[in-house]
Structure 1
Amino acid sequence: MQKIILASQSPRRRDLLKQIGLEFEIDPSNYEEDMTLDMEPRKLAEYLSLGKTKDVAQRHKDSIIISADTIIAVDNEVFGKPKTPEKAKYMLQKLSGRAHSVITGFTIINTEINKQISKSVETKVYFKNISEEEMDAYIATGEPLDKGGGYAIQGMAALFVEKIEGDYFNIVGLPIIAIVDELKNFGIKIL
């Protein structure tokens, strides 16, 4: 059986794949994400995941590579991971009291037969109104700084979520149902 490679250093993506019993190795991509590209958000997420997968595929000639990229979209603005507390606060202010889209683009490539698929999954998340005090306290935890959109739904930001429409795991970082469905097309069955 071919090796499966997760082209990500995200502990959340790793844990989700382990949770479903998939055996894989990790080889993070060195691909530089460009969030400034003028693309529709779903296409941007797919494009970024494809870039990551192709980068790692160069190092693994007989493997199945999986990568993903999660972005947040609100008001035609796309958010990646904030690098500073100030950027995290800006993102939380934009998300407060309204709905936004969490879009994960994923790519699977079989390097042996040069087969690939790129898709995206969108989940709507509705935030309550978040006070300045709550934002500052949340940012002080450090949790927002390496998370798309500046929050982790599986962490303390769960306190901000009023409801979701769609795949919860997509918000965490991997749309598990969609990925497992596509893995079947690559000859990999989970159950």
Structure 2
Amino acid sequence: MTPLILASESPRRRELLKKAGYDFDVVPVKVSEIPNKNLNVNDQILDIARRKARAAFDLLKSSRTGPFTVLAADTEVIFGEGPLGKPSDRDDAYRILRLLSGRFHEVITAVCMIDSSSQKELSQFEITHIYFKELSDNEIWSYIDTGDPMDKAGAYGIQSGAGHFIDRIEGPFDNVVGLPIDLVRKMLLELAK
């Protein structure tokens, strides 16, 4: 298999790839994650994943001698018409979690891959529907006090302290964590054709 490069600093994405049995190198890149307002929400998320993949590809193409495949992803929590993003502070985390309490939202992860040999680029996304139970102020503030929500889209990590906030999930659990492995497998097979 062509060497896989994960263009992400996310420990959650690394863990999911490792558990799925993939060998990979990590090459994190910094790109603007400000969404392009001229695109619809799904395309905004795909666009950010593409920016990450292309930045890593451009960084590596001159220094790598053999073939490689870059994998990048972007995960957003969508409530109503738009993404909630990561909280800016504790009060913002409270606002987001209060908004999600007792309601339905979507988690969308866009995945982009670029193969260095064929120059082929693939981008797709996965959607998971999440239903939160009603949360008390005490539950929300106790969770915020752990610090866990501060670096996460939608101000929660399903795999950590916020798992008990979930009433129901429709769709892949790993998508909510940050990387839909079944989609990754399908895209790698498609690139190998």
TM-score bracket relative to the smaller structure: over 0.9
User: Which of residues 68, 73, 77 is equivalent to 1:72?
Assistant: 77
The verdict on how the C-alpha distance between 1:168 and 1:149 changes in structure 2, with shifts beyond 3 A counting, is same
- 35-44 vs 135-144, greater mean Cα deviation: 35-44
| 86-95 or 33-42: bigger deviation | 33-42
Matches within 5 A, 1:119-130: 119-130=124-135
Match among 178, 183, 191 for residue 183 of structure 2: 178
Structure 2 residue matching 1:21: 3-state secondary structure: coil
TM-score w.r.t. structure 2 length?
A: 0.93
State the one-letter code of the partner of 2:32.
E
Q: Which amino acid aligns with 1:122?
A: I
Find the partner of 2:192 among 183, 187, 190. Answer: 187
CA contact 1:64–1:111 (8 Å) conserved in 2? yes
Among the aligned pairs, what percent are the same residue? 36
Give the CA RMSD over aligned residues: 1.4
Matches within 5 A, 1:84-99: 84-99=89-104
Describe how 1:21-60 pairs up with structure 2 within 5 A. 21-35=21-35, 37-60=37-60
Q: Deviation of residue 174 (structure 1)?
A: 0.4
Cross-structure match for 1:63:
68
Which deviations, in whole Å up to 9, do the C-alpha atoms of 1:126-162 show, x marking residues without a partner? 0001111111110010000111110000111011000
* Deviation larger for 54-63 or 25-34: 54-63
Structure 2 gap ranges (5+): 62-66
Matches within 5 A, 1:2-13: 2-13=2-13
**Unpaired stretches in structure 1, ≥5 consecutive residues:** none
C-alpha spacing 1:144/1:55, structure 2 compared with 1 (3 Å): same
Deviation at 1:63, TM superposition (A): 1.6
Give the one of 83, 89, 98 matched to 2:88: 83
Q: Is the Cα–Cα contact under 8 Å of residues 36 and 44 in structure 2 kept in the other structure?
A: no
How far, CA to CA, are the matches of 2:11 and 2:3 in structure 1?
A: 19
TM-score (norm 1): 0.94
Q: Which residue is equivalent to 2:122? A: 117
- Secondary structure class of the residue paired with 1:155: coil
* Contact 2:69-2:114 at 8 Å conserved across structures: yes
Q: Which runs of 4+ in 1 moved over 4 A?
A: none
SS of alignment partner, residue 73 of structure 1: strand
CA contact (8 A) 1:127 1:161 kept: yes
